[in-house]
């Protein structure tokens, strides 16, 4: 087991709707990014948010992004994963209705 | 980023229904277990399987377990996470209908 206080997993959906909308490129962009050491990137099956794909879910903090494109990844990495401030413009309104 | 070919994340739901059914103990049991180095354990929000809680989802292979108790964790660790063979008796029938 990998231990640590601030570990995160970036779950990048690779199911059908997300794939059609460019999720493979999103996954690749995260894999290519200069991520913090505590951050793991994982492809996943359906996250149930097909209508707002591609979906990126970050656990354990439960930040959900919708309609993510590969061009959004640098900002998510810099501002959120490194800077600790989620990217408001890409937050999924279903999970973050007040943002 | 943590690299590797066979990394896994064990997602242990800690949302309401799962909590009521003992999910905190399940999470603790995974944290206390002698896990393979490539395996990360994460608490998560709702996985949408409240009626068959507690839910444990393993990504990226997308193996879903239902009604998991802390006493099930040693077998999941030994047989599945170490041995590569999912524990048939605990598989969620919604995701694994033919098992």
* Token pair in block for residue B66: 């239902």
Where do the structural domains in chain A lie, given as residue ranges? 8-87
Cβ-Cβ contacts under 8 Å between A and B: the total is: 55
Res A6 pLDDT > 50: yes
Res A5 pLDDT > 60: no
List the one residue out of B19, B43, B20, B22 whose CA is nearest residue B31.
B43
The per-residue pLDDT for B4 is 52
Smallest Cβ distance to A40: which of B7, B43, B44? Answer: B7
pLDDT digits (tens, 9 = 90+) for A51-81: 999 999 999 999 999 999 999 999 999 999 9
**pLDDT mean across residues, chain A:** 93
pLDDT per residue of chain B (99 residues) written in tens, 0 to 9: 444 555 899 999 999 999 999 999 999 999 999 999 989 999 999 999 999 999 999 999 999 999 999 999 999 999 999 999 999 999 999 999 987
User: In sequence order, what are the residues at sequence separation of 6 or more whose Cβ sits closer than 8 angstroms to the Cβ of residue A93?
Assistant: A66, A99
Alpha carbon of residue B22 to chain centroid: 13
Does any CB of chain A come closer than 8 Å to the CB of residue B37?
Answer: yes
Architecture field, domain B8-87:
3-Layer(aba) Sandwich (3.40)
Shortest distance, CA A1 to any CA of chain B (angstroms): 5
Smallest Cβ distance to A42: which of B9, B35, B36? Answer: B9
The pLDDT of A86-98, averaged and rounded, is 96
Give the pLDDT band of residue A92 (cuts 50, 70, 90).
very high
As a whole number of angstroms, the distance between CA A50 and CA B6 comes to 27
The per-residue pLDDT for B2 is 47
CA neighbours closer than 13 Å in the CB half-sphere of residue A2: 21
Contact B39 A1 (CB under 8 A): yes
Report the percentage of chain A scoring pLDDT > 90: 89
* Token pair in block for residue B91: 């598989």
């Amino acid at each position: 087991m990998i231990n640590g206080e601030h570990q995160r997993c970036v779950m990048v959906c690779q199911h059908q709707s997300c794939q059609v909308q460019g999720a493979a490129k999103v996954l690749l962009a995260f894999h290519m990014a200069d991520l913090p050491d505590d951050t793991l990137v994982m492809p996943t099956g359906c996250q149930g948010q097909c209508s707002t794909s591609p979906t990126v879910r970050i656990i354990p903090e439960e930040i959900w992004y919708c309609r993510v494109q590969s061009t959004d990844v640098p900002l998510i990495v810099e501002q959120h994963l490194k800077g600790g401030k989620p990217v408001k413009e890409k937050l999924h309104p279903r999970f973050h209705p007040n943002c």
